[in-house]
Amino acid sequence: MTLRHYILLFALFFTNWLYAQNTRFSASASKSEVATGEEFEVTFSVNANGDRFSPPEFNGFQVLGGPNMSSSMTSINGSMTVSTSYSYYLMAVKEGTFTFGAASISVNGKTYKTNPLRIRVVKGRPVPQGSSRPAPAVPQEDFEESQPEKLSNSLFLRAVTDKNNVYQGQQLTLSFKLYTRVSIVESQVDKIPDLNGFWSEDIKNTNQNVEWKEETYKGKQYHVAVVKQTILFPEHSGNLRIDPVEMTFIVRQKAPARTLMDEFFGTYEDVKYKVKSPPLTVRVKPLPTAGKPQGFTGAVGQFKAEASLDKKELKANEALNYTLKISGSGNLKLIKEPVINFPADFEKYDPKITDAITMNTSGASGSRSYNYLLIPRHEGDFAIEPVRFSYFNPASGRYETASVQGFEIKVNKGNPSENVVYSGAGKQDVKLLNKDISYIKTAEPDLYKEGKEFHGSVWYYLLLLTGPLIFAGALLYRQWDKKNNSDPLKVKSRKAGKIAARHLANAQKQLSENNSKVFYEEVFKGLYGYLSDKLNIPAANLNKESIAAELQAKALDDRLIRQLLETLDLCEMARFAPVTGISANEVFEKAKNIIYEIEDKL
């Protein structure tokens, strides 16, 4: 085996390995710059079926809605891909630049994380700053003053479906409803169910204000709001369990009076209370085998079908478009490509699939269109046979068939020198190229000596190998960088000098502006912040005694420790009274030299 064979085998193996690593989990925002009070959407997308999704903290923003989960399937050239997205509607509360941390999700047992997402917030309309997630605006009248031990009867969640007995593939709407008789200050969704056994898509709600209704449940009147709604399609028969949704609430309750004023005006306290809905079971019946039509593709619902053709007469090697449109309500996104018998002389390409589907509380409705590009290669009279689209109607409990008309097509003689080639999936452009058949060449042939061409040479294979090698180097660097930054304490210690330098630079600026009070504050912050990060001492435990003890444990000489403590005392004293006997420039140089010495020795 020659060198070029080894290189080709390595490149082939590396390419196959590369394609196995194509799971992508990304974060995106509808806007990278927003104003305070402005709403925007943040979406986390994965090109696979994932579970155990965990969002980042949205500090500095109000969560107006979400998580809204949606799943989609795309078919390109017969290859089916699945993608899932989780979206949140947020509102900016205060100005500044904010970074959302990494979201995580599990795909086939492996955890994937998104890159951090940065949002810049500029001045807009003022927004009252409170919790990151606003509590639902519950009507305040007729609240009972419940005690903590009675909260289970006054605040709870229920999972409710519009149908509990369905067929496989039949759509149903799941609603998580909040029942309350107490005042809610804050709320937060802790866990959403995985909905195993169902294909699901959330109903997106962009309305900031929750709609409350009055409802009587078990003889009591409650304020009721829908927290989350999802459309479900059972993937198999049997008893399918819907796991609980979990939430945390801050409830305002009346507290015992401690003084006469408390008895007169009343006093209240906020209580944290965790709630989860009881699990719910949906009974799913299998589709009947009796009467199942041949060619049934799994459509469940109520549908109609129609077909159209853009031309009925054309020349050979010209292109025409055949469109089959299925519309109605049901599992439109799960319908497989129907079987259509096109003439054998027609060249057929994979269809372009177009969805126009609406998700609301009534379920999924709309249309799915399959557009086929067809190229007749010979003249003659041809026919596209009528299509019979079969589906199961849960309302009637039986299979039904929608008939689609056929078409007669007349193909005239075309130009034999022009052959149509389709340029790619999802495109309608058709190119006329003389490449379908290689014709006899009458010109002088372009001869070359074997072994002199670039293709197939050693340089060709070395260049071919460059791409995988560069990728491997990038992968190794990424692993090194991940390992180097895996310990937060070490990273914090490593970056301590840079943070201190930032404070000292600001101190030097204040010094040039003769602002001595702020100068000493910045030197003090720079030294304390540097020591907290470098020595891994929490700010709450940071004092001169703990600093001295830690530096002595690291074998730093007493002279340096003494200079450090003197400088800290000097800066602390200068914040309240003028300093004599030493200039501000000397204090600045002394602080800078102390940091340099500690960096050198540690």
Position 141 in a domain: no
- Residue 518 host element (H or E): helix 516-534
Distance, CA of 557 to CA of 564 (rounded, Å)? 11
- Residue 16 host element (H or E): helix 3-19
Mean pLDDT of 459-486: 82
Domain match, 277 and 158 both: yes
Token digits for 425? 């999936």
Domain match, 281 and 158 both: yes
Residue 163 sits in a domain of what CATH number?
Answer: 2.60.40
- Residue 467 host element (H or E): helix 458-484
Domain end position, chosen among 405, 433, 461: 433
Distance, CA of 477 to CA of 485 (rounded, Å)? 12
Say if CB 105 and CB 25 are below 8 A apart: yes
Residue 16, pLDDT score:
44
Distance, CA of 450 to CA of 470 (rounded, Å)? 31
Position 56 in a domain: yes
| Residues ≥6 apart with Cβ < 8 Å to 458 | 3, 4
Across 37-51, 204-218, 383-397, the highest mean pLDDT is recorded for 383-397
Position 438 in a domain: no
Distance, CA of 275 to CA of 184 (rounded, Å)? 13
Domain match, 308 and 429 both: yes
Give 581's Cβ-side CA count (13 Å radius). Answer: 3
Domain match, 200 and 311 both: no
| Residues ≥6 apart with Cβ < 8 Å to 123 | 35, 36, 95
Domain match, 509 and 592 both: yes
Residue 367 DSSP symbol: E
The residue behind tokens 């409802």 is 215
Residue 143, pLDDT score:
44
pTM over 0.85: no
pLDDT digits (tens, 9 = 90+) for 195-222: 889 998 888 776 556 788 889 888 889 9
Domain match, 188 and 226 both: yes
Residue 555, pLDDT score:
76
Band of pLDDT at residue 156, cut at 50, 70 and 90: very high
Domain match, 397 and 323 both: yes
Q: Return the bridge partners of 25, or none.
A: 46
**Closest residue by Cα to residue 182 from 298, 102, 269, 292:** 269
Q: What are the C-alpha distances in Å from 448 to residues 11, 352, 445, 451, 455? A: 28, 44, 10, 9, 12
Domain range enclosing 426: 301-433
pLDDT digits (tens, 9 = 90+) for 296-320: 888 999 999 999 999 999 999 899 9
Distance, CA of 470 to CA of 190 (rounded, Å)? 42
Distance, CA of 528 to CA of 511 (rounded, Å)? 19
How many separate domains does the chain show?
4
Domain match, 153 and 238 both: yes
Q: What are the C-alpha distances in Å from 27 to residues 23, 115, 318? A: 14, 7, 44
Position 474 in a domain: no
Distance, CA of 155 to CA of 146 (rounded, Å)? 10
In this structure, what are the phi and psi dihedrals at residue 126, rounded to the nearest 5 degrees? Answer: -70, 145
Residue 82, pLDDT score:
66
Position 1 in a domain: no
Residue 169, pLDDT score:
93
Band of pLDDT at residue 581, cut at 50, 70 and 90: low
Domain match, 154 and 269 both: yes
pLDDT digits (tens, 9 = 90+) for 320-339: 999 999 999 999 988 888 88
Domain match, 163 and 274 both: yes
Token digits for 192? 């959403």
Domain end position, chosen among 433, 451, 481: 433
DSSP-derived 3-state class of residue 391:
strand
Helices and strands (H, E) in the chain, number of each type? 10, 33
Say if CB 551 and CB 564 are below 8 A apart: yes
Residue 541 sits in a domain of what CATH number?
Answer: 1.20.120
DSSP-derived 3-state class of residue 207:
coil
Mean pLDDT of 96-114: 87
Say if CB 312 and CB 404 are below 8 A apart: no
Domain match, 277 and 325 both: no
Position 410 in a domain: yes
Across 133-147, 365-379, 586-600, the highest mean pLDDT is recorded for 365-379
DSSP-derived 3-state class of residue 344:
coil
Residue 323 sits in a domain of what CATH number?
Answer: 2.60.40.740
Q: Return the bridge partners of 223, or none.
A: 180, 214
Would you tell me how many other CB atoms lie within 10 Å of the CB of residue 445?
6
Domain end position, chosen among 433, 459, 475: 433
- Residue 410 host element (H or E): strand 407-412
Position 342 in a domain: yes
Position 241 in a domain: yes
pLDDT digits (tens, 9 = 90+) for 169-187: 999 999 999 999 888 878 8
Token digits for 535? 């020595």
Compute the residue count for the chain. 602
| Residues ≥6 apart with Cβ < 8 Å to 275 | 155, 156, 157, 246, 247, 248, 249
Distance, CA of 301 to CA of 307 (rounded, Å)? 20
Say if CB 365 and CB 202 are below 8 A apart: no
DSSP-derived 3-state class of residue 335:
coil
Domain match, 281 and 187 both: yes
